């Protein structure tokens, strides 16, 4: 179980105006890439330059021929601005983060890499030249980066494998109704991967950083997909919630009989990440609740009744009190009555004191105060997130 934390739990404290400042921590320098980062911190420079012999005499005809040749060559292929000769570990990390969170800003990539947003931006331009990433340019905000199919294929080629990811982003398909929340979840993920999150100290567990941390994160779209695939009838409608609980009991029996490893259940049966209250009727999909993001700590589990994984909920808008109570009750019931309790803690990340108070009330109603915590969602500078997604 987790140890006492020195990080203030805003479920317990009234003062929500002051919070711990997040100071970006740069990852260790890779000697192979040393110099590469210096290049990205310099002013933009062309990757090639024309060479002219000193003292050579140029005729008007020669100048015109050179100009015509240059224009023709430019039509055939535009020279990349940020020519890259090789890719390294940081490029792998940046692309793997895009694979996990679909659409991401340069500031968030800066948090992931431990560099300034401008440096991350230039690195992404280099990857864009190679066709590994591309951008969505949206009104009123900087572009958002996403991984191309070539980037996906390249990561697999580099053996940077991760099957717990959403479906690849398709260019031009941006859903503004969900974009703000998606970017806020990516912000929480960036801080975890970059090693500047409050959560490890809050839960009393030392977490890795970089690719190792990224492998532990389970995003909501992946949980939705695996749950639907496991608990759907041939017509594609969700079956009864009781079937999900039956699945838990069967998994527990397999573990007890030695047919399934204690720490392997959630990997082999990822549909169990989604919380389902018992007695959920068919088609009642609102009763099924995946967290916004999960930190998979199953490798630390010591027993069936000793969950270690953490559910993260990013809350930017105040939900109806009954809805919050339903969610709190679902987590509490699964933890206390489930055949395999999944979550040790549920951490709400928010920028609103009123949301914190509502979560406190819902947790009390569900008698789950010890299961829930609340923390501030912060921006790249460590300040409380303003709620303006275009500034992330």
DSSP three-state, residue 169:
coil
How far apart are the C-alpha atoms of 38 and 78, rounded to whole Å? Answer: 25
Residue 279: what pLDDT?
Answer: 53
DSSP three-state, residue 135:
strand
- How many CA atoms, within 13 angstroms, populate the side-chain half-sphere of residue 93? 25
Distances from the Cα of 140 to the Cαs of 13, 137, 144, 154, 179, in angstroms?
A: 36, 9, 12, 32, 14
pTM of the predicted structure, to 2 decimals: 0.78
- Average of per-residue pLDDT across 44-73: 44
At 144, list the tokens: 């958002």
How far apart are the C-alpha atoms of 347 and 377, rounded to whole Å? Answer: 11
The CA-CA-CA angle for residues 111, 195, 134, to 5°, reads 35
Residue 92: what pLDDT?
Answer: 97
DSSP conformation class of 271: G
Domains contained in the chain, CATH given:
36-40+84-175 (1.10.10.10), 197-391 (no CATH)
Stated length of the chain = 392
Residue 60: what pLDDT?
Answer: 53
Is pLDDT at 33 greater than 90 in this prediction? no
Angle formed by the axes of helices 117-129 and 89-101, nearest 10°: 90
H-type alpha helices, the chain = 36-41, 60-76, 89-101, 106-113, 117-129, 149-157, 176-194, 199-203, 210-214, 220-230, 241-256, 265-268, 321-337, 353-365
Percent above pLDDT 90 for the chain? 44
pLDDT digits (tens, 9 = 90+) for 127-175: 999 999 999 988 878 889 999 999 999 999 999 999 999 999 998 888 8
How far apart are the C-alpha atoms of 231 and 237, rounded to whole Å? Answer: 8
pLDDT band of residue 25 (cuts 50, 70, 90) is very low
- Average of per-residue pLDDT across 273-279: 76
């Amino acid at each position: 179980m987790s140890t006492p934390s020195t990080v203030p739990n805003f479920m317990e404290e009234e003062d929500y105006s002051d919070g711990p400042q997040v100071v970006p921590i740069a990852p260790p320098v890779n000697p192979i890439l040393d110099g590469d980062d210096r290049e990205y911190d310099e002013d933009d420079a062309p990757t090639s330059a024309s060479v002219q012999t000193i003292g050579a005499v140029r005729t008007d005809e020669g100048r015109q021929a050179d100009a015509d040749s240059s224009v023709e060559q430019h039509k055939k292929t535009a020279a990349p601005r940020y020519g890259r000769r090789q890719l390294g570990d940081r490029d792998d990390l940046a692309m793997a983060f895009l694979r996990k969170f679909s659409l991401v800003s340069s500031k968030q990539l800066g948090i992931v890499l431990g560099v300034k947003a401008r440096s991350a931006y230039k690195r992404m331009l280099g990857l864009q030249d190679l066709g590994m990433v591309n951008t969505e340019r949206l009104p009123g905000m900087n572009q958002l980066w996403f991984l191309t199919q070539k980037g996906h294929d390249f990561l697999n080629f580099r053996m940077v494998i991760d099957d717990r990811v959403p479906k690849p982003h398709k260019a031009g398909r941006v859903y503004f109704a969900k974009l703000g929340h998606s970017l806020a979840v990516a912000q929480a993920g960036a801080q975890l991967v970059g090693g500047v999150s409050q959560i490890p100290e809050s839960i009393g567990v030392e977490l890795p950083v970089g690719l190792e941390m990224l492998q532990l994160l389970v995003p909501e779209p992946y949980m939705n997909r695996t749950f639907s695939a496991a608990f759907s009838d041939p017509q594609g409608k969700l079956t009864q919630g009781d079937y999900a609980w039956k699945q838990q009991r069967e998994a527990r029996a397999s573990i007890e009989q030695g047919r399934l490893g204690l720490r392997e259940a959630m990997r082999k049966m990822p549909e169990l990440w989604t919380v389902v209250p018992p007695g959920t009727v068919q088609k009642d999909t609102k009763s099924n609740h995946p967290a916004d993001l999960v930190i998979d700590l199953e490798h630390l589990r010591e027993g069936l009744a000793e969950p270690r994984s953490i559910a993260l909920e990013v809350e930017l808008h105040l939900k109806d009190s009954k809805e919050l109570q339903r969610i709190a009750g679902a987590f509490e019931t699964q933890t206390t009555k489930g055949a395999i309790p999944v979550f040790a803690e549920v951490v709400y990340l928010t920028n609103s004191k009123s949301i914190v108070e509502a979560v406190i009330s819902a947790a009390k109603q569900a008698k789950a105060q010890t299961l829930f915590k609340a923390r501030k969602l912060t921006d790249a500078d460590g300040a409380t997130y303003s709620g303006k997604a275009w500034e992330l």
